[in-house]
């Protein structure tokens, strides 16, 4: 059984790292890695070869690999090169890119979308969203701190005292909690909000203040935020108007599985913020939590608020992000394959298998 690892055409990550390649080879796999696939993650071809992989061309991966791995999905043209029966593992985000499933299905392959793995205790080691969200929350605060024309911490000098910056975090999931922890370590005053009231203790344990509106629909069985009523959203906006107006940095992390991200920050709220304030919207690829947000773009409003729409901030820590992703892939492969490295189709009713498998091979 041969695994092929693509060089990403967008972003800095790589699907496998040498230490994981060694573990896969020990299980009996052959591993092909595209030439310079690890370059943006500071991994040389020689590092992969030392681990036992063979360096290959991109076309060879399509022709020789049984299992293909990429962090982001291939282009439409390259999807057409996939062979019937191949297994392709990536982050397809089928709730956002709604036509991707049909395109993959036409190739008669097994396609597994790691971002669809449910958040359960047994799936923790394969949970790509949590792995990447933790990095994104950390980097979001550092990015905002770099853009903010102020200190984050209190400074007392002979020339006078500087008050600490105020950071407001929307969503207290993995990314939000990491953002809260990072902002507190940098000396900021931190407030947070989440529809899941059970996150209040977690926010407080990290030193943040939890703001809440009563009447929220609670989390789904898999731990994701639920879609809220318009009445709740209106009350939440009113409560947050003052919080946002008084904040120097706002970190947006709120998403709803299978739906467009809720617009929580209106243009009116942004227009009321202080000049030089910064918003980092990690939900931008799902529409964004801020009305101004555009994915992969930085918007500067008339009152000089910078709004960064970036749902791939984990790319800013490509070395660690690649390692975590590779570990997720390794654990997932071990779960869905048998000891003889064949796909375990007996798992088709398993929660992890059926949630992540977005297309199945149909044998004639």
Which of the residues are catalytic? 119, 124, 127, 130, 224
> What is the C-alpha separation between 21 and 330, in angstroms, rounded?
9
Q: Which are the contacts of 106, defined by CB distance < 8 A and separation ≥ 6?
A: 80
Question: In which element (H, E) is residue 270 found?
Answer: helix 267-271
3-class DSSP state for residue 309?
A: strand
3-class DSSP state for residue 70?
A: strand
> What is the C-alpha separation between 164 and 226, in angstroms, rounded?
33
Burial 86-118 (b: 16+ CB within 10 A, else e): bbbbbbbbbbbeeebeebbeebbbbbbbbbbbb
Geometric angle at alpha carbon 29, from 28 and 35, rounded to 5°: 145
Sheet holding 357-359, edge to edge: 54-56, 30-34, 2-5, 67-72, 87-91, 110-113, 357-359
Geometric angle at alpha carbon 193, from 190 and 194, rounded to 5°: 140
3-class DSSP state for residue 359?
A: strand
Contact 59, 41 (CB under 8 A): no
Helices 318-336 & 18-27, crossing angle to 10 degrees? 10
Geometric angle at alpha carbon 112, from 109 and 117, rounded to 5°: 160
For residue 283, which of 170, 194, 124 has the smallest C-alpha distance? 170
Tokens, residue 279: 């918003």
């Amino acid at each position: 059984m041969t695994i092929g690892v693509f060089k990403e055409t967008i972003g800095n990550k790589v699907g496998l790292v040498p230490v994981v390649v060694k573990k896969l080879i020990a299980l009996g796999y052959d591993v092909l890695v595209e030439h310079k696939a690890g370059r943006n993650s500071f991994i040389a071809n020689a590092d992969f070869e030392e681990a036992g992989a063979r360096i290959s061309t991109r076309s060879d991966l399509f022709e020789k690999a049984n299992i293909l791995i990429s962090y982001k999905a291939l282009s439409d043209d390259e999807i057409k090169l996939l062979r019937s029966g191949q297994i392709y593992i990536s982050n397809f985000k089928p709730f956002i890119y709604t036509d991707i499933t049909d395109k993959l299905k036409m190739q008669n392959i097994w396609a597994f979308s790691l971002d669809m793995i449910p958040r359960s205790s047994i799936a923790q080691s394969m949970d790509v969203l949590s792995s990447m969200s933790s990095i994104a929350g950390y980097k979001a605060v550092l990015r905002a701190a770099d853009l903010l024309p102020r200190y984050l911490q209190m400074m007392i000098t002979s020339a006078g005292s500087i008050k600490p910056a105020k950071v407001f975090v929307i969503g207290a999931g993995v990314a939000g909690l990491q953002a809260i922890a990072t902002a507190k370590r940098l000396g900021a005053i931190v407030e947070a909000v989440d529809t899941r009231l059970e996150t209040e203790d977690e926010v407080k344990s990290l030193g943040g203040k939890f703001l809440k509106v009563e009447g929220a629909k609670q989390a789904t069985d898999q731990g994701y935020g639920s879609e809220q009523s318009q009445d709740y959203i209106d009350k939440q906006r009113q409560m947050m108007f003052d919080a946002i107006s008084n904040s120097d940095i706002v970190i947006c992390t709120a998403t709803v599985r299978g739906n467009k991200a809720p617009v929580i920050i209106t243009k009116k709220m942004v227009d009321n913020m202080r000049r030089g304030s910064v918003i980092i919207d990690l939900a931008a690829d799902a529409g964004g939590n801020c009305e101004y947000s555009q994915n992969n773009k930085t918007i500067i409003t008339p009152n000089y608020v910078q709004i960064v729409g970036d749902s791939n901030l984990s790319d800013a820590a490509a070395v660690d992000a690649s390692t975590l992703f590779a570990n997720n892939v390794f654990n997932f492969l071990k779960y869905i394959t048998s000891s003889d490295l064949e796909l375990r189709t007996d798992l088709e009713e398993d929660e992890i298998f059926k949630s992540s498998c977005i297309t199945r091979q149909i044998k004639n």
